[in-house]
A = this chain, B = another copy of it.
Amino acid sequence: MLSKKTKYAIKALVMLGKNMDQPPMQIARIAEDERIPKKFLEQILLDLRNAGYLYSKKGAGGGYSLNKDPKDIFLVDILRITDGPIAMVPCASIKFYHKCEECHDEVTCGIRKAFIEVRDASLKVLGETSVADIINKEKTPISVV
């Protein structure tokens, strides 16, 4: 499951993505609209800013705006900033790899191989879906579960 942190991060980015030509948007505004605890959101936006995805301006009339085109911000990027690894086992992670302590032999481990396949499957979708795509999906009111 995604942490709330990640969910909030995506929501904020989507909101800012819809606000592209407008002046910067304040944390308080995003927090209210998306029902996110303001102080928690502050931390999250800071992380996204420090990772280069947001531009921020202090002082009166300040706020946050996207620092990249919504087409160029992918779910996988956000998840890696806020939640860390995409893979379900550390030994199958690309960016956060580390050995499983109990593992006997990683090279032959069938579990690892299976979860590398799982990782690749979800990575494909996460790496192809951008903030812009999410905004677009909201315009199509047909839900297919």
B7-A100 in contact (CB<8A): yes
A35 interface neighbour in B35, B75, B88, B102, Cβ under 8 Å? B102
Residue A126 lies at the interface, judged by CB distance under 8 Å to chain B = yes
This chain: how many copies in the complex? 2
B125-A124 in contact (CB<8A): no
Known: A1-B89, A1-B90, A14-B111. A116 touches B134 (CB 8 A): no
Query: Smallest Cβ distance from A33 to chain B, in angstroms?
Result: 9
Residue A60 lies at the interface, judged by CB distance under 8 Å to chain B = no
Query: Smallest Cβ distance from A145 to chain B, in angstroms?
Result: 6
Bound Cα distance from A7 to B10, whole angstroms: 29
Give 3 nearest A-B pairs by CB, closest first: A110-B137, A110-B134, A35-B102
Bound Cα distance from A100 to B4, whole angstroms: 10
Q: A11-B102, A108-B141 are in contact. List 17 more A-B contacts (CB 8 A).
A: A1-B85, A2-B89, A7-B111, A14-B111, A34-B102, A35-B102, A108-B138, A108-B143, A110-B135, A110-B137, A114-B134, A116-B144, A116-B145, A118-B122, A118-B126, A118-B129, A122-B122
Query: Which B residues touch A35, using CB under 8 A?
Result: 101-102
Bound Cα distance from A99 to B114, whole angstroms: 30
Residue A133 lies at the interface, judged by CB distance under 8 Å to chain B = yes
B111-A11 in contact (CB<8A): yes
Bound Cα distance from A102 to B40, whole angstroms: 14
